[in-house]
Amino acid sequence: MLVHMSDFLVGSLPFQYLGCPIFQGKPKCVHFQPIVDRIKVKLATWKGVLLSIMGRVQLVKSIVHGMLVYSFHIYRWPIRLLKILDRWIKKFIWSGDINTCKICTVSWKNVCLPWDSGGLDLKSTRSLNASMLLHLSWNLFTQDSQCSQLFKHRFLSFGRPRNSYFKSSIWLGVKEFLQFVFENSISIVGNGEKINLWLDNWLGAPIVSILDAPPNMFPLLTTRLQSIIENGKWQNVPSILHYPSVAESMLKFRFLSRL
């Protein structure tokens, strides 16, 4: 019925969208092999021997990494493919040919260091993939977009990753970094209207973690931080928050004065 009304064609997974594979389930080598094959053709056809090392580095940064960044921002690539790509890139930069291995006196780890540290600021594909997934995890965890809300509803429980199995192509990569994002971010209080007093991290650590509250209590903890703030001061603070470590942190808390 909807097909006839909208004139859309009925498709099936997997398929390509803007050069990026769309599929369901765990990312596998077969999903990304077309991208890898295109990169191999690029590296093989470039006349790398006629370029300086810096010229080859710029080609890798601008074109090869550009071909990867879109899918890197969505999926965790299989390690086997990333190792293959890094091996090709290393051979291309040192010799200009992905099939020629040249003895080098500088380790690849040092080559990938920033300019200020004496490297060529050339990131490994594994580091690029990890940084893109960390960025995606941050956006999904902190933003209020429809995509982020859908993500939180499906994959998180009271702000924490669920332990359930999900047949999702992005979850495998994102779940590695969600805990890192959760532990290294803190909520900006403001008026406290959108912050859960007990579950959100606005004090350096969630109060439920400080008090070691059991997870079966989480559904009952719905109080907003706004309820204990009045005119930039703590008011009507629950007695349980007089717990020494919590009370000490709250006493050190400073509200921003209005401009």
- Distance of CA 17 to CAs 14, 23, 68, 139, Å? 10, 10, 14, 22
- Statement: residue 256 has pLDDT above 90: no
What percentage of the chain has pLDDT greater than the value 90? Answer: 21
The domain ranges of the chain are: 12-185, 186-259
Closest CA to 229 of 259, 199, 202: 202
Instruction: Name the pTM for this structure.
Output: 0.80
How many helices (H) and strands (E) would you count in the chain?
Answer: 11, 6
- Statement: residue 239 has pLDDT above 50: yes
Q: Per-residue pLDDT tens for 171-213?
A: 888 888 888 888 888 888 877 888 888 888 888 888 888 888 8
Rounded CA gap, 141 and 161, in Å? 10
Say if residues 93 and 56 touch (Cβ distance below 8 Å): yes
Say if residues 210 and 170 touch (Cβ distance below 8 Å): no
- Confidence band for 218, pLDDT divided at 50, 70 and 90: confident
